[in-house]
Structure 1
């Protein structure tokens, strides 16, 4: 369920009322800890935190006109989703996150390949998400991304 909102503010305005507080808190958790250099913008119909072309001119390999994505958050039909490409690309970061998650509540982690789903707004571990958002600098993300890209091309 992608939004057609053109701006972050438009996206926030169209959120269902029952999700606005939790979504805003999640957004602020990311904004308060994400390293300098990432920019917030609309990306794939969600709020995206990206490496802008001014830092990484090559852009995203799937569509070089787009900046390099890092984190996205969105409101889907049945849940709030957080896409974190770092936990998809970095097994150590994924292991850290899955080990830390149970310490922040007694609910099961609903995760795919870098996609974390929160069906209940009161079960979002905001402090853990904030810590996760701050773990990778722009430079480290670019290095991780390029390493993954090169390993795919050599296969």
Structure 2
């Protein structure tokens, strides 16, 4: 279920009470740790952090009108999700995250290609996401994106 919210504050205000605190804290962690140049916006019904067109005019190859996505956070029907494109595109970041996760969380890692899911908001390892968020600069993300895209 995608939100129709037009900004992150509205998105969080519309959440059920049991999700608001975790989503707000996750947003704060991302905003505090994401490298300079990424921009917070709403994209695909989620709070997203993108490379704006002012930095990367070509936008996202699937829809060039969209800014280049990097990371999103969302409250889904049955879980809170963190989407991180760096995990999907960079095997070193993926290996680091999978190795670090058990050091920060007691629950089993529930993860897809770029999506990390938390059924219980109390299990979100915020300090691990702080570190993950800071691992890739805008320039590094653009270089990785273009190298993967050209394959």
TM-score (norm 1): 0.96
Structure 2 alignment gaps of length 5 or more = none
Match in the other structure for 1:126:
126
- Runs of 4 or more, structure 1, over 6 Å off, are none
Cα distance in 2 for partners of 1:43, 1:77 equals 18
- 1:136 partner SS: coil
Q: How far off is 1:106 after superposition?
A: 1.4
Query: 1:78-97 counterparts in 2 under 5 A?
Result: 78-97=78-97
Q: CA RMSD in A?
A: 0.6
**What corresponds to 2:32 in structure 1?**
32
Question: Per-residue deviation at 1:132?
Answer: 0.2
SS in 2 for 1:32: helix
Q: Secondary structure at the match of 1:129?
A: helix
How far has the Cα of 1:45 moved from its partner? 0.1
Q: TM-score, normalised by structure 2?
A: 0.99
Residue equivalent to 1:99: 99
- Larger mean CA deviation between 3-12 and 99-108 belongs to 3-12
CA distance in structure 1 between the aligned counterparts of 2:89 and 2:46, rounded to whole angstroms: 20
CA distance in 2, matches of 1:144, 1:81: 23
SS of residue matched to 2:29? helix
SS at 1:41 equivalent: strand
The alignment covers a number of residue pairs equal to 151
Determine the structure 2 residue equivalent to 1:42: 42
1:37-92 deviation line (CA, Å, top 9, x unaligned): 00000010000000000000000000000000000000001100011000000011
Please say if 1:4 is aligned against 2:1. no
